[in-house]
Amino acid sequence: MSATLPAHIDLTKKQELRMSFDVGHTTFGFTMRVPDADVAIVDDLISSHAAWMKETHSLTGEEGKLHTLEYYVSKAAELNDMMDPSKGTTGNVVYTVSEVHKDDEHFGKHVELGQSWDRINEFFGLFEKYGPLVTMAGRVTAKL
C-alpha cells in the first residue's frame, strides 16, 4: 500500500520525497547530549556544517560536488521520562546528525573533503566535549 501525496505537490517534489538510499549504503552519524547552556554554540556549529555540506555536497550528483545520498540533523529536549513528558526535561538537548553515502569510497572522500572545512576542529571538539555515540562507516540495514 502506498501513500498518496496531495495533488498540489508536483511530480518533481514527489520524487524528492522518496528515500534516495538503500540497504547496504555507507553511513556516518552521531547522537550527543548537550547541556541547555551550550545549545546556542552547538546550533551555530551545526548550522555552519549544514551550510558547508550544501556548498560541497549534492543529493542529485551535481557537477563539482560530492554526491551524498542523505544528510539531516535533528534535535529535541531530553525528557526525564519519555513515557510521561509532563515530568519535564533534563536540561539537555539531544542532537542527531545523520549522513548516508553511496559507498565506502564516497564516505572516504567526504572525510577528506571535511579536512578543508574551516571549523572541522571545532566539530571534532564536540566529540571530545560531549562523548557522543558515533556510527563510523556503518551500513543501512533496514528502511521503509
Note the pLDDT tens digit of each residue in 26-75.
999 999 999 999 999 999 999 999 999 999 999 988 999 999 999 999 99
Domain count, the chain: 1
CB 30 within 8 A of CB 94: no
pLDDT band at 1 (very low <50, low <70, confident <90, very high): very low
The answer as to whether 124 is a domain residue is yes
The answer as to whether 14 is a domain residue is no
pLDDT at 113: 96
The answer as to whether 89 is a domain residue is no
Dist CA 67 CA 70 (whole Å): 9
Domain range for 105 is 34-59+66-80+101-144
Note the pLDDT tens digit of each residue in 4-31.
545 555 555 545 555 689 999 999 999 9
The answer as to whether 90 is a domain residue is no
- List the grid coordinates of 51: 551550510
Nearest to 138, CA basis, from 19, 18, 20, 23: 23
The answer as to whether 12 is a domain residue is no
Note the pLDDT tens digit of each residue in 88-139.
999 999 999 999 999 999 999 999 999 999 999 999 999 999 999 999 999 9
The answer as to whether 71 is a domain residue is yes
Name the helix (H) or strand (E) containing 48. Answer: helix 39-56
Q: Work out the percent of the chain whose per-residue pLDDT is above 90.
A: 84
Predicted model pTM: 0.84
- Burial level of 20, CB count in 10 A (0-12/13-18/19+)? middle
Side by side, the strands of the sheet bearing 26-35 are 57-58, 66-79, 89-101, 26-35, 133-139
* Residue 100 dihedral angles phi and psi, to the nearest 5°: -130, 130
